[in-house]
Amino acid sequence: MNITKSINKIAMMGFAALVLSLASSSFGEVRAQKPIDTKPVLTEQEKRLFADFDQRVKDYLEQRKAVAKKLPSLSKEATPAEIEAYQKNFVERLRAMRAGTKPGYIFIPAFTTYVRRTIQTEFPPKDKAEIKQTILEAENKAVPLKINYPYPESQELTQMPPTLLLKLPTLPKEVKFRFVKKHLLLVDSDNGLIVDYTLNALP
């Protein structure tokens, strides 16, 4: 697979506005995914788990910012070719910075256990069946479970079931949860890189 070509195709689908923002604000304001309702009440242990997860995500965002700061700024009149070159350079540097990162960098075992237990115990049988159907029917079986590899543009980007999303930590706009079969991924929203993954999060 031509990794660089795949990354560039993903990036050019909506990266122009982002890189212009990066030039002045290093990724700008972090906005959260909007849930459809309030978050559930967490135990003290779950609060600590969520706080740990949030910090690990922030660490990844700091890596992105560090890469952006080292790149030359793009002008507001940047051409598509200049934007593509910027993005290619950005992704190459980010992948180099994260070389050697292993699965579990963000999805620690306790978090995977929480996701699996939540799906298993917090939903009535009908809702649980609908969640599994939505996830398992997605056309994304060819997505590689490899950190720093791109999520192929040919593969379906399944939206997380809203009822499940409510039970998970709120993510900044730079990253999204994705399921591939029974495995949970964290994917960079802007360049498609797989930030982390955990196996068998879907019980």
Query: Do residues 178 and 88 make contact, with C-beta atoms less than 8 angstroms apart?
Result: no
pLDDT at 127: 87
pLDDT score recorded for residue 96: 95
Mean pLDDT of the 174-191 span: 94
How many CA atoms lie within 13 Å of 82's alpha carbon, on the beta-carbon side? 11
Q: Identify the pLDDT of residue 33.
A: 45
Contact call for residues 141 and 88 (beta carbons, < 8 A) = no
pLDDT in tens, 110-162: 999 999 999 998 888 988 898 888 888 888 988 999 999 999 988 988 778 88
Structural domain containing residue 35: 3-198
161 assigned to some structural domain:
yes
Asked whether residue 16 is domain-assigned, the answer is yes
The answer to whether 12 and 87 have CB atoms below 8 angstroms apart is yes
- Asked, for residue 135, whether it belongs to a domain, the answer is yes
Q: How many CB atoms lie within 10 A of CB 181?
A: 14
The pTM score is 0.77
- Please check whether residue 203 lies inside any domain of the structure: no
- Give residue-wise pLDDT tens across range 97-123: 999 999 999 999 999 999 999 999 888
Residue 145's pLDDT is 93
The answer as to whether 137 is a domain residue is yes
Q: State the average pLDDT over residues 170-187.
A: 95
Question: Who contacts 68 (Cβ-Cβ below 8 Å, separation ≥6)?
Answer: 22, 26, 27, 90
Residue 10: pLDDT over 60: no
Residue 19 pLDDT grade (very low, low, confident, very high; cuts 50, 70, 90) = very low
Number of separate domains in the chain: 1
Edge to edge, the sheet with strand 183-188 lists 175-180, 183-188, 194-198
Over residues 70-86, the pLDDT tens digits come to 998 888 889 999 999 99
Looking at the chain, the whole-number percentage of residues with pLDDT higher than 90 is 55
HSE-up of 76 (CA within 13 Å, CB side)? 1
